[in-house]
Structure 1
Amino acid sequence: MTWKKLLALLWMTILVVGMAWVGKEGYRAAVAYESAASESAQMMEAGRVAESRLKDLASTLTFGMVHNEIREKMELLHAREQLARTRAERSILLFGGIATLTLFSGLLLSPRMGTALLSLGALIALINGLITPILMVVVHQKVEYLGDVVLSFESKGILGSVEKLYYEGNLPVAGIILLFSVLLPAAKTLTLLFVSLYETRPFAAKLVRLFKHLGKWSMLDVFVVALLLVFLTSRGTDVSRAEAEIGIYFFLVYVILSVAASLAAERMLRQVRRK
């Protein structure tokens, strides 16, 4: 093996390990943000808000002798929530930067090494996109004498949504999402990685063509989630808040790297045919 190939392998390893580590940190930050936001929502339920109002009144009447621990806990939760959100945003920006380096490196390396690198990067992004929350929806309402209270809170990722739909009995919808956003993308990415190892085999070109045709349907549920987000955030009311979480950006990185991996695989197979 030449020194150029060794340097290329070392650079590929650095990129892959970097994406995996930053993706893990982004997932942990997103889960911490989801947990803090969920606890904050619970503290904003009607019963808790009423209790907090009563403690404020008691504190005023007793000149501060009664402490409102609910308000103090809310302030701590908001601080946790903001910290976790900042960590998640930084992680996804760093992940996007490493993914950009991976994209350009995959296009500049030899077709075989580029296909392997882009496939590994796409696989890491896909895994993070599947397990990380993608959408948070909070429904709240103004209540007389209480102010703003939370009626419901929900934050789900792709796998969480599939699980919820399954247990609610929506088997066809759960099956469609599982097929087009989990199984097919995973199969396509693993196939491209496999093809990069066995590019001279006759079945390699057929597999690449097959998943090239099927790949355009693999992100159907992401478009549905995006439409839902636009619908919720464009109504202009103060009774709901929809927020895209970093899982959807992991999916965006997966889509870009997956397309690039397919192009690199086609270039690799053309090179094999010319030999």
Structure 2
Amino acid sequence: MLKSIGLRNKIALVILLISFVFLFPGVYLSMLTINTQGSVNSVVGHLGVEFFNTSNSILKTVYDLFKQEYYFVSIMILLFSIIVPVVKGILLIYVILIKDKKIANRLLNFIKAIAKWSMCDVFVVATFLAFLSTGSRSSGNTHEASILGIPIDINILVNMNAQLETGFYCFLTYCLLSLCALQLYEELPLEEKFSQ
């Protein structure tokens, strides 16, 4: 079966199969960790507080949104960031391996149509923008308070830290490889399609 496939399509098939290896960890593993801590320092003492600490994967985000009754958003993320890419990849494998080139052509047109609705790249960009917008920041203010009429300087420091996790890099790799596979796929000219 693989003997009848051209070299470009064999390479596209291998790249596509490798992309699936990265898709599943990209969906299950954490993409972004955001941690926000604060501290209050004065001559009286020091108080440290963790305000916010979260690390979510795509599936956990879908689950959390669904649990918080954001049904539409969670279903859209599930559909366009997971289901559509998987269907697109499986259909492309079928297109590469199928002998009936007329059906392959129809499926390829369908793949190109649903590829426009795949939001993998949008999800990656949104995660990266969230990382860039939060990054690592510290901001502090000094305020004066008085205890029993004695003025005391209080230093309030808020530290926000964002870190891209393994899931982000796996999902990004999946996006790039699946795009390469689709671009590498070489459709046979119409004359050749029906002569085989």
Q: Smaller-chain TM-score range?
A: 0.7 to 0.9
Larger radius of gyration: 2
* 2:31 aligned with 1:134: yes
What is the total number of aligned residue pairs between the two structures? 168
Please give the per-residue CA displacement for 1:92-112, whole angstroms capped at 9, x wherever unaligned. Answer: xxxxxxxxxxxxxxxxx7133
**Bigger CA drift: 110-119 or 247-256?**
110-119
Change (3 A) 1:210 1:147: same
> Would the aligned equivalents of 2:101 and 2:194 in 1 still touch at CA under 8 Å?
no
More helix by share: 1
The match for 2:81 among 176, 181, 194 is: 181
Identity %: 27
Contact 1:123/1:190 (8 A) holds in 2: no
Encode CA deviations 1:176-195: one digit per residue, 9 max, x unaligned.
11111001111111111111
Match of 1:214 in 2: 114
Query: 5+ residue gaps in structure 1?
Result: 6-108
Matched, 1:223 2:122: no
Tell me: higher relative CO, structure 1 or 2? Use CA pairs within 8 A at least 6 residues apart.
2
2-structure distance, mates of 1:269, 1:166? 44
Query: Structure 1: how far apart are the matches of 2:188 and 2:21?
Result: 24
Which has the larger share of strand? 2
CA contact (8 A) 2:36 2:160 kept: yes
TM-fit CA distance, 1:198 = 0.5
Pairing partner for 2:22 from 116, 125, 129:
125
The answer to whether the aligner puts 1:246 opposite 2:143 as a matched pair is no
Alignment partners' CA distance in 2, 1:222 and 1:186: 16
> Unmatched 5+ residue regions in structure 2?
140-157
Match of 1:155 in 2: 55
CA contact (8 A) 1:138 1:152 kept: yes
> 1:70-95, CA deviations, whole angstroms, 9 ceiling, x for partnerless residues?
xxxxxxxxxxxxxxxxxxxxxxxxxx
- Offset of residue 147 of structure 1: 4.6
Q: Secondary structure at the match of 1:169?
A: coil
Of 161, 170, 175, the match for 1:255: 175
Normalised by the size of structure 2, how large is the TM-score?
0.75
TM-score, scaled relative to structure 1: 0.55
Conservation of the 8 A alpha-carbon contact between 1:129 and 1:248: yes
In 2 relative to 1, CA 216–253 (structure 1 residues): closer, same or farther, beyond 3 Å?
A: farther
Matched letter for residue 230 of structure 1: L
Query: Offset of 1:216 from its aligned partner?
Result: 4.1
Question: Residues 138 and 159 of structure 2 are in contact (CA less than 8 Å); yes or no, is this contact kept in structure 1?
Answer: no
